[in-house]
């Protein structure tokens, strides 16, 4: 496995691979890897000849009061995990490599960027779209792999790919969960044992709304109320949003249907967690 700390080194290796006719897969991450990330890596390994995993804590997607400086960084462990998965290349640039002094160009997906997480984290999706565009330009992958865990991010990236005519296939992997339902996240390490229990409220709210949908309920307002009621039982959770939206536009729907996104975000203590479910087709 090669670790490429610079764009030049990465491009050199990828040039050779491309010349040899290999298909290239990209898995963008911010490190502090867990099984959720590895599931994307495995998907990429199945579908591509060479897999690049980027490990970069992207400062432009953090707000001024967010957790950039304390975001978990576990590079040695990440490296071991990716070696076990037989990943060919880790791209691990410095902040200066990605944002040299004076860099001032950003990518903004208007509309979508102000919805869901974008509403409570102004500038977040501008940072995401900018870094993902840069990674797409640097790696020029055939396929890029993202998790449904960050469903709004997926919508933003799909739209950016369409709007900018990028010839990259965006692949989406399912959400990996702990056995009790909590969606895996690098931020889960922030949770105290007590908060870890409280955090179950996110997946439980989604599951109850999904069950109600399976029993025939289609009114979005009713599904939202069901989720809100579950959160009420856990008053220490500070709700950011509870939404029933179209996954492509991230706009609220009145009637839920297969493919509709149920999405929640809440602060447990000082940790902001997100989770979602995409409603299935009727069985
Ligand atoms: P992050 O390092 O948090 O930026 O995540 C990198 C990628 O891993 C993103 O595409 C995430 O959506 C994905 N990811 C994060 N958590 C999970 C999870 N629990 N299951 C599947 N994919 C995930």
- Residue-wise pLDDT for 43-98, tens only, equals 999 999 999 999 999 999 999 999 999 999 999 999 999 999 999 999 999 999 99
* Whether residue 193 has pLDDT greater than 60: yes
Cβ neighbours of residue 163 under 8 Å, at least 6 residues apart? 109
3-state helix, strand, coil in the chain (%, to 5): 45, 20, 35
Element housing 99 (H / E): none
Give me the pLDDT at residue 281, please. 86
Give me the pLDDT at residue 138, please. 98
Q: Contact, 21 vs 38, CB < 8 A?
A: no
**Among candidate residues 31, 29, 27, 28, the one with its CA nearest the CA of residue 44:** 27
Across 159-177, average pLDDT:
98
Cβ neighbours of residue 76 under 8 Å, at least 6 residues apart? none
- Ligand 1 centroid–CA 239 distance in Å is 21
Which residue of 40, 66, 277 sits with most ligand 1 atoms within 8 Å of its CB, as the best mutation to test the pocket? 40
Write out pLDDT tens, residues 86-104.
999 999 999 999 999 999 9
Q: Mind telling me the catalytic residues?
A: 37
CB atoms within 10 A of CB 98: 20
User: Global pTM?
Assistant: 0.98
Which residue of 35, 37, 38, 60 sits with most ligand 1 atoms within 8 Å of its CB, as the best mutation to test the pocket? 37
Across 2-13, average pLDDT:
98
- Ligand 1 centroid–CA 217 distance in Å is 30
Is the CB of residue 146 below 6 angstroms from any atom belonging to ligand 1? yes
Give me the pLDDT at residue 4, please. 98
């Amino acid at each position: 496995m090669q670790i490429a700390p610079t764009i030049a080194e990465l491009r050199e290796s990828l040039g050779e691979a491309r010349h040899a006719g290999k298909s290239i897969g990209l898995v963008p991450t911010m490190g502090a890897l867990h099984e959720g990330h590895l599931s994307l890596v495995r998907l990429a390994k199945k579908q591509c000849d060479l897999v690049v995993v980027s490990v970069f804590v992207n400062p432009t997607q953090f707000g001024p009061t967010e957790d950039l400086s304390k975001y978990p960084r576990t590079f040695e462990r990440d490296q071991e995990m990716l070696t076990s998965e037989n990943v060919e290349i880790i791209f691990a640039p410095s902040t200066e490599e990605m944002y040299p002094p004076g860099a001032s160009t950003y990518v903004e997906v208007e509309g979508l960027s102000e919805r869901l997480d974008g509403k409570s984290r102004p500038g977040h999706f501008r940072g995401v779209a900018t870094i993902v565009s840069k990674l797409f330009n640097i790696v020029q992958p055939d396929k890029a792999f993202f998790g449904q865990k960050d469903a709004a991010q997926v919508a933003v990236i799909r739209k950016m790919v369409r709007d900018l005519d990028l010839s990259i296939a965006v692949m989406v992997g399912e959400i990996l969960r702990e056995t009790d339902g909590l969606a895996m996240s690098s931020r889960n390490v922030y949770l105290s044992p007590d908060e870890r229990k409280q955090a179950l409220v996110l997946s439980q709210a989604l599951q109850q709304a999904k069950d109600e949908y399976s029993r025939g309920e289609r009114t979005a307002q009713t599904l939202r109320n069901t989720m809100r009621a579950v959160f009420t039982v856990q008053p220490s959770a500070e709700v950011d949003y509870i939404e029933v939206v179209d996954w492509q536009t991230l706009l609220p729907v009145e009637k839920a249907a297969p493919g509709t996104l149920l999405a929640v975000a809440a602060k447990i203590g000082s940790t902001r967690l997100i989770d979602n479910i995409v409603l299935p087709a009727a069985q």
